Amino acid sequence: MRVLGIETSCDETGVAIYDEQAGLMANQLYSQVKLHADYGGVVPELASRDHVRKTVPLIQAALKQAGLTAGDIDGVAYTAGPGLVGALMVGATVGRALAYAWKVPAIAVHHMEGHLLAPMLEDHPPAFPFVALLVSGGHTQLISVTGIGRYELLGESIDDAAGEAFDKTAKLLGLDYPGGPLLSRMAGKGRAGRFTFPRPMTDRPGLDFSFSGLKTFAANTIRANEQDEQTKADVARAFEDAVVDTLSIKCRRALEQTGYKRLVIAGGVSANHTLRERMAIMMQKRGGEVFYARPEFCTDNGAMIAYAGMVRLQSGANTSLAVSVRPRWPLDELAPVASDVAAG
């Protein structure tokens, strides 16, 4: 099966083609970072309009990259949620219309399932079961994964997601949007130990997260100190260390609770080098293994949607002609996929 995937949940337009035999045949991505930079964050109406402009040209570019025509596509997958409702409607409308015109099935894909399955695009994909840490600008969740669609929520953020806290703290440090990657780069120049930030909710049982307090702690630290470049770097280092330590502690608890030996880290923050290093050390000590997607598949992209859509289309699932999106969509509401299909 060969599937065209469309991702338009927020500020990146992604289109890809995935073939169950040949693998990823095309991957096109357009980022709206420059469009939203002047506003310090994503403006939903501008995002939607830009998806309207970019989606069809990217589909044409993906077909050209793969050397295919519309007649070579067996199914269309599109992100239906969670995300910005206007942005989601663009991809859903285009995807459903194309599937109807091409006389192929369409499937509405859960954005976070796409992220969770992104490591399956790699040469060494994880086997089930595993603990998944989904960590991005909008989500921080720990999931027990026993198969595709077999998800149990173990814990999640009760306020800001980790990526959101990164971006907000970066803004406090005067960094441009999107600030998370810039903060991490600045943290690399910071001195460990000058500032010590709390590790929120690690002094109590449970697997939930809270990162809004770290942002407040960072704001207070910034106000109380001279704002030279080294001080900013030291604050960035302390903040990043606190987030990474908190994520590591909670992942270790989840692994102990489930007894699993495999950990998957997915979502935009999973590209963070410090997080990857700490998780690798932790899993090595535990005699387990950690899995990631390559950096370009950590952020939003069409490849993960094409893959997730292919697996669900192979199981016989498809979406009706009605165009419907879900800005809020709990991951554990998804239907399970038969294990033999998932293995394919």
- Co-location of 260 and 141 in the same domain: yes
At 161 the pLDDT is 94
User: Which residues define the annotated binding site for substrate?
Assistant: 134-138, 167, 180, 272
Note down the domain range covering 100.
2-117+297-333
At 128 the pLDDT is 97
342 assigned to some structural domain:
no
- Co-location of 286 and 318 in the same domain: no
Fill in the amino acid letter for 123. D
Euclidean distance between CA atoms 137 and 161, whole angstroms: 6
pLDDT > 60? residue 344 = no
Q: Where are the alpha helices (DSSP H) in 191-324?
A: 212-223, 229-258, 273-286, 302-314
CATH of the domain at 134: 3.30.420.40
At 262 the pLDDT is 98
235 assigned to some structural domain:
yes
Residues of the chain above pLDDT 70, percent: 98
338 assigned to some structural domain:
no
pLDDT > 50? residue 342 = no
pLDDT > 80? residue 163 = yes
Give every strand in the sheet of 75-81, ordered side by side: 23-31, 12-19, 2-7, 75-81, 106-110
- Co-location of 278 and 328 in the same domain: no
At 339 the pLDDT is 62
Q: Within 10 A of 344 (CB to CB), how many other CB atoms are there?
A: 12
Average pLDDT in the 252-276 region?
97
- Co-location of 65 and 167 in the same domain: no
| pTM confidence score | 0.95
pLDDT > 90? residue 6 = yes
- Co-location of 136 and 279 in the same domain: yes
- Co-location of 139 and 283 in the same domain: yes
At 60 the pLDDT is 98
| Confidence band of 21 (pLDDT split at 50, 70, 90) | very high
| Number of domains comprising the chain | 2
pLDDT > 50? residue 343 = no
User: Which residues define the annotated binding site for Fe cation?
Assistant: 111, 115, 300
340 assigned to some structural domain:
no
Q: What is the pLDDT of residues 145-156, one digit of tens each?
A: 999 999 999 999
User: Which residues define the annotated binding site?
Assistant: 111, 115, 134-138, 167, 180, 272, 300
341 assigned to some structural domain:
no
- Co-location of 302 and 288 in the same domain: no
- Co-location of 137 and 281 in the same domain: yes
- Co-location of 155 and 25 in the same domain: no
- Co-location of 146 and 207 in the same domain: yes
* Cβ neighbours for 236, distance < 8 A, ≥ 6 positions apart: 169, 170, 173, 183, 184, 186, 187, 190
101 assigned to some structural domain:
yes
pLDDT > 60? residue 341 = no
| Confidence band of 331 (pLDDT split at 50, 70, 90) | very high
344 assigned to some structural domain:
no
pLDDT > 90? residue 137 = no
> Comparing C-alpha atoms, which of 234, 217, 230 is closest to residue 169?
217
- Co-location of 79 and 29 in the same domain: yes
Q: What is the pLDDT of residues 48-83, one digit of tens each?
A: 999 999 999 999 999 999 999 999 999 999 999 999
Q: Within 10 A of 331 (CB to CB), how many other CB atoms are there?
A: 23
Average pLDDT in the 277-297 region?
97
Average pLDDT in the 288-303 region?
97
- Co-location of 113 and 203 in the same domain: no
Q: What is the pLDDT of residues 185-201, one digit of tens each?
A: 999 999 999 999 999 99
Q: Could you tell me the two tokens for 298? A: 């950590």
102 assigned to some structural domain:
yes
Average pLDDT in the 90-103 region?
98
